C-alpha cells in the first residue's frame, strides 16, 4: 500500500462499476446486519473504492436508510477526479463523498464495504489492508471485502468482525488472573452468492473469490475442497432441478451442512442463491486451524 501526500493509503482501482452491481452483497448486509446497524450509536458506513461512478454508493445509502433513516454513508475514493464527479450525487448529511483509502479518512465506521478493491492488489497486500481497516473500524464493527463480476451475477465476500474492546465482565479469563480483560475472538465468514438460473455449477464462483483465496483454489486447499464438495452436492441435487434452481441450490447447501461443513443461516437466505460459511471451515469431522486471511486448513475433505 502506498501513502500519498495526505497519507491516503492505497492505490486507485480501475474504477469499473455499474448500477446494481453490488445488489447481492447489499441484500446480505440488509438481511443479516440489520441488528448491528440498528444498535449502533453512530450508524456510519463507509463504501471504500466506489469507482468511476457513485451509483453503487447511492444504492447502498438507499437500502440502508430503510433500516436506519439516520444512517450516514461516506463513499471514499483515492482519485480526486472521481470524488469531484460524485459530488452532485451527494445528499448531505446522509450521503457524502470524500477522498480516502485504507486509512478511512480518519472515520470510525460501524461497517465498511470494500468490494472489488483488493482484487487489483497482490495477495501479500491483503493482510496489511485488512489490518489497516480493522484498526479503524469502530469496535464491534464489520468489514465486508470481496469480489463480484461486472453485472453482479457472481459474488463472493468475507465478513470480518472487529471485536468489541476488551472488557472485565468475564472473570478468570485464560492467560491472566481473575478480572483480566478478555478480548472477544474475531469472527469471519465467507459468503458465496449467484444468479441461480445462469449457474451451471457452484465452482463457477471460483473466478470471483476474494483476492486472498483465488490463488488457493488448488487441490489440498480449503476453498478448493469446499467448491469440489459443493459441485458434488449440486450433482446429487439434480433431481430437484425439476422444481427450479432454487430448490437444487437449497438441496446442495443442506447436503453440505449434513456433511459437516460450517454452513450459516437458514433456508430463506439459501433460496436467494447465497450461502455463508464460517471461515476457516472447521469441519465437524476434522480439526482445522487457519489464521491467515486465505490460509490453508488441515482437513482432507
Radius of gyration of the chain from its Cα atoms, rounded to whole angstroms: 20
pLDDT at 33 over 60: yes
User: Per mean pLDDT, which range of 30-39, 60-69, 237-246, 276-285 is the poorest?
Assistant: 276-285
Residue 165: predicted pLDDT: 72
Q: What is the mean pLDDT of residues 46-62?
A: 97
What's the rounded Cα separation, in Å, for the pair 269 and 231? 19
Average pLDDT in the chain:
87
Strands 142-148 and 111-115: parallel
Q: State the DSSP string of 71-102.
A: -EEEEEES-HHHHHHHGGG-BTTTEEEEE--T
- The vertex-121 CA angle with 79 and 151, nearest 5°, equals 75
Residue 255: predicted pLDDT: 98
Residues 256 and 235: beta-carbon distance below 8 Å: no
Helices (H) and strands (E) in the chain, counts: 9, 9
Residues for the chain: how many in total? 301
- pLDDT band, residue 285 (cuts 50/70/90): low
Q: 238-270: b or e for each residue (b if 16 or more CB lie within 10 Å)?
A: eebeeeebbbbbbbbbebbbeeebbbbbeeebb
Please give the biggest Cα pair distance in the chain.
60
What's the rounded Cα separation, in Å, for the pair 107 and 105? 6
Residues 74 and 107: beta-carbon distance below 8 Å: yes
Residue 11: predicted pLDDT: 65
pLDDT at 258 over 80: yes
Residue 178: predicted pLDDT: 30
Q: Is the preceding peptide bond at 77 cis, omega within 30 degrees of 0?
A: no
- pLDDT band, residue 288 (cuts 50/70/90): very low
Amino acid at each position: 500500500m502506498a501513502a500519498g501526500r495526505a497519507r491516503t493509503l492505497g492505490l486507485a482501482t480501475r474504477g469499473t462499476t455499474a448500477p446494481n452491481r453490488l445488489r447481492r452483497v447489499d441484500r446480505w448486509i440488509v438481511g443479516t446486519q440489520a441488528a448491528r446497524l440498528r444498535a449502533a450509536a453512530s450508524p456510519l458506513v463507509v463504501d471504500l473504492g466506489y469507482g468511476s461512478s457513485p451509483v453503487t454508493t447511492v444504492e447502498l445509502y438507499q437500502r440502508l436508510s430503510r433500516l436506519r433513516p439516520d444512517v450516514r454513508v461516506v463513499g471514499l475514493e483515492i482519485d480526486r477526479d472521481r470524488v469531484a464527479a460524485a459530488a452532485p450525487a451527494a445528499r448531505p448529511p446522509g450521503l457524502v463523498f470524500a477522498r480516502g483509502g485504507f486509512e478511512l479518512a480518519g472515520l470510525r465506521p460501524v461497517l465498511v464495504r470494500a468490494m472489488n478493491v483488493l482484487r487489483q492488489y497482490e495477495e501479500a497486500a491483503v493482510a496489511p489492508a485488512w489490518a489497516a481497516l480493522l484498526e479503524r473500524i469502530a469496535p464491534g464493527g464489520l468489514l465486508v471485502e470481496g469480489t463480484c463480476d461486472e453485472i453482479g451475477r457472481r459474488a463472493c465476500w468475507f465478513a470480518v468482525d472487529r471485536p468489541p474492546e476488551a472488557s472485565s465482565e468475564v472473570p478468570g479469563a485464560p492467560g491472566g488472573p481473575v478480572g483480566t480483560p478478555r478480548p472477544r475472538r474475531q469472527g469471519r465468514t465467507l459468503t458465496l452468492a449467484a444468479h441461480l438460473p445462469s449457474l451451471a455449477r457452484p465452482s463457477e464462483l471460483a473466478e470471483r473469490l476474494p483476492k486472498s483465496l483465488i490463488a488457493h483454489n488448488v487441490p489440498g486447499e480449503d476453498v478448493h475442497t469446499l467448491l469440489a464438495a459443493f459441485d458434488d452436492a449440486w450433482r446429487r441435487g439434480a433431481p430437484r432441478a425439476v422444481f427450479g434452481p432454487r430448490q437444487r441450490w437449497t438441496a446442495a447447501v443442506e447436503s453440505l451442512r449434513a456433511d459437516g461443513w460450517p454452513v450459516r443461516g437458514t433456508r430463506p437466505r439459501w433460496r436467494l442463491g447465497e450461502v455463508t460459511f464460517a471461515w476457516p471451515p472447521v469441519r465437524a469431522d476434522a480439526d482445522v486451524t487457519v489464521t491467515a486471511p486465505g490460509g490453508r486448513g488441515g482437513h482432507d475433505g
